[in-house]
């Protein structure tokens, strides 16, 4: 159930003490929901990511080329970067105080996180997709 | 309220004393570490994405990015990413427990902070050992 308030900034008002109509609660819920998916995906991915270290090219391809690691790493990259984007938004909002710079940083983060996810997906598909 | 008024009020409001004045306690350090590992994973995923793309393309592209996954720096990058995943994961579990009102007393939150720190290192070591034995 959602409760709408009449206040834009929502700090105080008659009968509405300290409520907010900003995006804090959905944000927190979003981070938690994605983290439930990321916990198993992350633990499994850590296993296969560690397996990449020090391997020659063929070894790396063989590791990523198997279907289960490929699918898990794929999902980890996509859900992870969605989660990471929101997390980085938090960091930017906390530390970048200049309004214009903050807006630019948020946009840069949006596109950087999408680019990382896209490269991640493309790379795994190139290695693992059936030829 | 107009934006200018909000800005003026915000400028007059005292800032939090923040890190320079608080006594460094473990729960605070683990909160900071949660954020650092999160930001680190952002960078780590970017590096690994490039590494995987290089591996997918092969040839010169792979030689250009192989430093991310092999050699001293590569091993360090991969190990740090794995540790950051486990540390951040356990930090998330801690938050999930707190969300449910569990482990919020002084003893409980100290235990969770220690668990995050030790658990992250332990899980990394365990995976490293098992992986080394498996290969």
Q: What is the ipTM of this complex?
A: 0.85
* Average pLDDT score over chain B: 91
User: Which residues of chain A neighbour B75 with C-beta distances below 8 Å?
Assistant: 53-54
Mutation for A interface: B56, B81, B119, most A CBs within 10 A: B56
Residue of A52, A35, A83, A31 whose CA lies nearest to B47: A52
Asked if A83 and A31 count as a contact pair (C-beta separation under 8 A), the reply is: yes
pLDDT at A19: 46
Residues of chain A positioned with their CB less than 8 A from the CB of B99: 32
Q: Count chain A–chain B contacts defined by CB atoms under 8 A.
A: 118
Measure in Å the smallest separation between the Cα of B52 and chain A Cα atoms. Answer: 5
User: Is B91 an interface residue toward A (CB < 8 Å)?
Assistant: no
Q: B107 to chain A nearest CA, in Å?
A: 24
Residue B53 pLDDT class (50, 70, 90 cuts): very high
Provide the pLDDT for residue B23.
81
Q: Tokens for B69, please give them.
A: 């996954």
> Considering only A10-19, B42-51, B123-132, which range has the smallest mean pLDDT?
A10-19
Alpha-carbon gap: A19 to the closest alpha carbon of chain B (Å): 17
pLDDT tens digit string along B69-125? 999 999 999 999 999 999 999 999 999 999 899 999 999 999 999 999 999 999 999
Q: Confirm if A52 and B44 have CB atoms less than 8 A apart.
A: no
pLDDT, tens digit, 9 for 90 and up, residues A19-35: 455 677 788 889 999 99
Nearest residue, CB atoms, A49 vs list B57, B70, B81: B81
C-alpha torsion angle, residues B25, B30, B36, B41 (rounded to 10): 170
Q: Please say if the pLDDT value at position A3 is more than 70.
A: no
pTM of the model: 0.86
**Does residue A120 belong to the interface with chain B, where contact is any CB pair within 8 Å?**
yes
Q: Is the dihedral of CA B58, B63, B69, B71 positive or negative?
A: positive
Separation between Cα atoms, residue B27 and residue B98, nearest integer Å: 13
Inter-chain residue contact B38 with A87, CB threshold 8 Å: yes
* Residue-wise pLDDT tens digits, A43-95: 999 999 999 998 999 999 999 999 999 999 999 999 999 999 999 999 998 88
- Interchain CB contact of B125 with A (< 8 Å): no
Whether A116 contacts chain B with CB within 8 A: yes
């Amino acid at each position: 159930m959602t409760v709408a308030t009449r206040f834009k900034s929502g700090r105080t008002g008659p009968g509405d003490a300290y409520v907010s109509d900003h995006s804090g609660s959905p944000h927190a819920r979003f981070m938690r929901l994605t983290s439930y998916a990321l916990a198993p995906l992350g633990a499994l991915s850590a296993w296969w990511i560690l397996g990449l270290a020090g391997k020659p090219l063929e070894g790396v391809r063989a590791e990523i080329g198997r279907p289960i690691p490929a699918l898990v790493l794929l999902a980890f990259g996509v859900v992870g970067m969605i989660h990471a984007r929101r997390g980085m938004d938090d960091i930017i909002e906390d530390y970048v105080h200049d309004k214009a710079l903050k807006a630019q940083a948020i946009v840069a983060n949006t596109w950087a996180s999408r680019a990382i996810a896209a490269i991640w997906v493309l790379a795994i598909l190139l290695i693992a997709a059936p030829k | 309220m107009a934006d200018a008024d909000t800005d003026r009020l915000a400028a007059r409001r005292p800032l939090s004393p923040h890190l320079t004045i608080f006594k460094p306690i473990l729960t605070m350090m683990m909160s900071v570490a949660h954020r650092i590992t999160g930001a680190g994973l952002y960078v780590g995923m970017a590096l690994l994405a490039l590494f995987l793309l290089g591996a997918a393309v092969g040839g010169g592209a792979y030689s250009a990015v192989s430093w991310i996954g092999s050699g001293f720096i590569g091993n360090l990058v991969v190990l740090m990413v794995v540790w950051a995943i486990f540390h951040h994961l356990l930090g998330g579990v801690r938050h999930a427990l707190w969300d449910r009102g569990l482990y919020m007393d002084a003893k409980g939150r100290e235990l969770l902070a220690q668990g995050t720190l030790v658990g992250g290192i332990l899980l990394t070591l365990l995976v490293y050992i098992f992986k080394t034995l498996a290969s």
